[in-house]
Amino acid sequence: MMKKTITYTFILLLLLTLTGCQSRRETENLAITNAIGVDKLNSGGKVIFKFYEVILLPRKLGVSSKGTTTASEQTYEVVDSQGQSLEEAVRNITTKIPRITFLAHTQVIILGQSVCEENLNEVLDFLIRVTDIRLRSKIYVTKGDASEVLQAKPATESELGKEIFGLGTYGKNQSAEVKEITLKDFGDKILTPGREAWAPVLEVTNTNKLKNENNLKVNGLALFKAEKLYGWLNKNDTKGVMLANGEAKQGSQTVAIADHGQIAYLFNQSKAKISVQINEEKLITADIIVKLSGNLVESGGYPLDNQEDIKLAETTLNQTFEEQIRSAFKQSQESESDILGIGRLVERKDKALWDRIKEQWPKMYSEVEINVKVDSKIINTGLRNKTFNGKFIK
């Protein structure tokens, strides 16, 4: 009994050493990457991918064992490499940095325009197939090369990945002009027939005019048709799209009313319903009904004394929003990019018809008619009901 116990204990102990702690990696040896970028070069008919990693430098970011460091130092490093495949590019990076490549904390993926136009298939396949990168990472597209965006300086955050992540994550709750999309949703939308993908566009700007720096902003959407970039939406049209698919959480609209001056409206709830009608000639019409509720937050001289005034303001707002949605829809039709998923609705409504038309759907999409109806409500007019310019007017 005792002999057996001792023998088994020895065997168990040996077993522990056998594994050799194979997949062990110490935290301080990781090259923590929180943003990656992909560009491509064409050299002699061959596609060469350029891969960028934004590697954080923990000792300059947080409290190190030797105390805090000064804030002015750069807290991240952008490392680039190239390869015929993305994996090759990643392996090439490992020859340049003395640490273990660690992509699991990637929060932001930036895709250059050329990649999106021609090689999105390979890139998405890599991003989703690799177990390291989370499907929760956010996708951004740039006009031009991703490297331009990666050279920008973060304006308020300590490092670039966090800055971009914050732009989308916090921006989308405060403005309907900003939107973000996860890698998973992006991939799903690209694969689903009858619905096209979109991704927010990152643009270089100057946040603080006093400093001569390149900063970043989110500006509009990139529209895809199947797995190819096909067109762009500007800020206003982004709001129209978000209103139409009910994803706008908060946003404002300024409208001028007759000759009374202008008001600013801030909606904080939106609901949208899209339905399709198919008539006998198989013509497809989409009805978009949007319900908004929010507050009047600013009035430049427009009186809000009675219900009629508010009604008029609401009607004017409705017209403006409807116009925006129509414009956005038109824009997406020009790109043949069905970002609202009208095709899916057609499929649900009439499967037989859809099976017949799905091959030509992008073409047909550009001919879909829409009826837009916006019903915006002013719930509250704030702490004042009179304006400041009525002192001498009776």
Q: Footprint of other proteins on residues 56-95 (CB under 8 A)?
A: 56, 58-59, 61-66
Q: Site mask, other proteins, residues 184-223, x = CB under 8 A?
A: ----------------------------------------
- Among residues 107, 175, 219, 299, the one that binds other proteins under rule CB under 8 A: 107
Q: Which of 180, 198, 163, 227 is nearest to 35 (CA)?
A: 163
- Say if residues 140 and 200 touch (Cβ distance below 8 Å): yes
Q: Is residue 3 a contact point for other proteins (CB under 8 A)? A: yes
Please say whether the beta carbons of 266 and 297 come within 8 A. Answer: yes
Helices (H), 192-281: 235-244
141: CB partners within 8 A, 6+ apart: 110, 111, 112, 113, 116, 199, 200, 201, 202, 222, 229
90 forms beta bridges with none
Could you tell me the smallest distance in angstroms from the CB atom of residue 343 to other proteins? 36
Q: Which of 258, 357, 371, 251 is nearest to 309 (CA)?
A: 258
Rule CB under 8 A: choose which of 6, 41, 135, 191 binds other proteins: 6
Look up residue 374 and give its two tokens.
């916006």
Cβ of residue 290: shortest distance to other proteins, in angstroms?
A: 36
Show contacts with other proteins in window 7-36 (CB under 8 A).
7, 16, 19, 21, 23-28, 30, 32, 34
Nearer to other proteins, 110 or 313 (CB): 110
Q: Footprint of other proteins on residues 112-151 (CB under 8 A)?
A: 132, 134
Instruction: Classify residue 67 as left (phi > 0), alpha (psi -120 to 50) or beta.
Output: left
Q: Are 216 and 163 in contact (CB under 8 A)?
A: yes
The reply on whether position 301 binds other proteins by CB under 8 A is no
Q: Output 63 or 283, the one with its CB closest to other proteins.
A: 63
Q: What would the x/- binding string for other proteins be over residues 257 to 276, using CB under 8 A? A: --------------------
Residue ranges that bind other proteins, judged by CB under 8 A: 2-3, 6-7, 16, 19, 21, 23-28, 30, 32, 34, 56, 58-59, 61-66, 102, 104-105, 107, 132, 134
